[in-house]
Amino acid sequence: MKLYGVIGDPIAHSLSPVMQGRAFDEMGIKAHYHPFHIKGQDLEIAIKGMKAIGVEGFNVTIPHKTAVIPFLDSIDPLAKAIGAVNTVIRENNRWIGYNTDGEGFTEALQAEWKENLQDEQVLMIGAGGAAKAVFYTLLSKGIHHIDICNRTMERAKKLIKDCPYKGHSTALTLTEAEEKLSQYSLIIQTTSIGMYPEVSQSPLSLEQLNPNAFVSDIIYNPFETTFLKAAKKRGAKTQNGLGMFVYQGALAFEKWTGQSPNIQRMTETVMEQLGGNVCLPENKNAF
Ligand code: NAP
């Protein structure tokens, strides 16, 4: 029996153990995926200990995604640029860190919208940790036109300035973004605004939205945020954050096992889990 897991603080809420555990079962791989509740002060010893007890690989969640980096043996260039790791694999007894959040977002977008994103005019709302992973990953794939708006402008400017991948990006205030909204073909909402329990909030007005635009919100609780509802009302196609979560997990699974899990089954597993303890829309299949 191989051992995998996720480290975080808190960790009891994590959906990864059930999602990954079932994926291992379905692929016929004898493995256990465990939620490890690790406090910040115990991080170094926990990472060493996991090597000692034979853990094959693990995910990293809040608040350890950046703090874990000094305790790994090597880090993939994209994860290094992002400055955060969410997946660790064991190779020749060395811990190698990756970031599959941005890649997970991109794969979900391609699966739910379109494959070729090169020529899209993109507006990203938010400049936090998730925004950084999404922005750096999209730029690393050659998607050049991505503007960023954020409540704190300085954070958006810094995100653009620090990015090692070339692009044509401008930092905007939320008001400037609202005024220019019709120019964008893809809008990516990465802030925590609208997340349960503050479900009535929305990061900006969609009055000027181009109805042909695609609107993605990386929140999946609720399944359909007020922001996505407003976008849909204006005729836009929409996507919630469930796909990003599932794909980042599937990418981790592939790195550990060399096998591709069934995305549909993973999605169903997460939806089953969410069904019990989150605010659900009337139509569960709305995402
Ligand atoms: P974070 O680093 O704390 O960043 C939060 C972002 O939200 C910042 O841009 C912040 O703006 C903005 N924000 C928060 N409260 C705001 C308010 N009241 N008004 C205006 N802006 C506000 O958080 P994160 O880790 O990036 O996570 C952001 C969201 O993404 C969360 O809802 C999280 O659950 C979700 N997420 C989803 C997935 C997935 O797999 N689907 C993965 C990761 C994260 P300032 O810079 O001005 O503070």
- Whichever domain contains 227, its CATH number is 3.40.50.720
Is residue 93 domain-shared with residue 146, that is, in the same domain? no
Is residue 94 domain-shared with residue 156, that is, in the same domain? no
- Going through the chain in order, the beta strands assigned E by DSSP cover 2-8, 31-37, 55-60, 74-75, 87-91, 94-98, 122-125, 146-149, 171-172, 186-189, 214-217, 237-239
Alpha-helical runs (H) found in 174-239: 174-180, 226-233
- Whichever domain contains 272, its CATH number is 3.40.50.10860
The two most distant CA atoms of the chain are separated, in Å, by: 56
To test the pocket of ligand 1, the residue of 15, 160, 191 to mutate (highest count of ligand atoms within 8 Å of its CB) is 191
- Predicted TM-score (pTM) of the model is 0.94
* Domain total in the chain: 2
Kindly report the average pLDDT of the chain as a whole number.
94
- What is the distance in A from the centroid of ligand 1 to the CA of 7? 20
Is residue 234 domain-shared with residue 254, that is, in the same domain? no
Which residue has tokens 């050049």?
144
- Within 6 Å (CB) of ligand 1, which residues are found? 101, 126-131, 150-152, 155, 190-193, 195, 218-220, 241, 244-245, 248
Is residue 139 domain-shared with residue 47, that is, in the same domain? no
Is residue 256 domain-shared with residue 272, that is, in the same domain? yes
Band (pLDDT 50/70/90 cuts) for residue 274 is confident
Is residue 127 domain-shared with residue 176, that is, in the same domain? yes
Is residue 124 domain-shared with residue 232, that is, in the same domain? yes
Is residue 109 domain-shared with residue 74, that is, in the same domain? no
Band (pLDDT 50/70/90 cuts) for residue 284 is very low
Instruction: Please provide the size of the chain in residues.
Output: 287
Is residue 200 domain-shared with residue 138, that is, in the same domain? yes
Please identify which of the residues 65, 80, 166, 232 carries the catalytic annotation. Answer: 65
To test the pocket of ligand 1, the residue of 190, 196, 224, 279 to mutate (highest count of ligand atoms within 8 Å of its CB) is 190
Known catalytic membership, residue 65: yes
Mean pLDDT of 24-28: 97
Is residue 149 domain-shared with residue 202, that is, in the same domain? yes
Q: Domain of residue 118: give its range.
A: 102-240
CA-to-CA distance for 8 and 65, rounded, in angstroms?
9
Mean pLDDT of 35-43: 98
Which comes out higher in pLDDT, residue 287 or 20?
A: 20
- What is the distance in A from the centroid of ligand 1 to the CA of 219? 9
pLDDT value at residue 281: 41
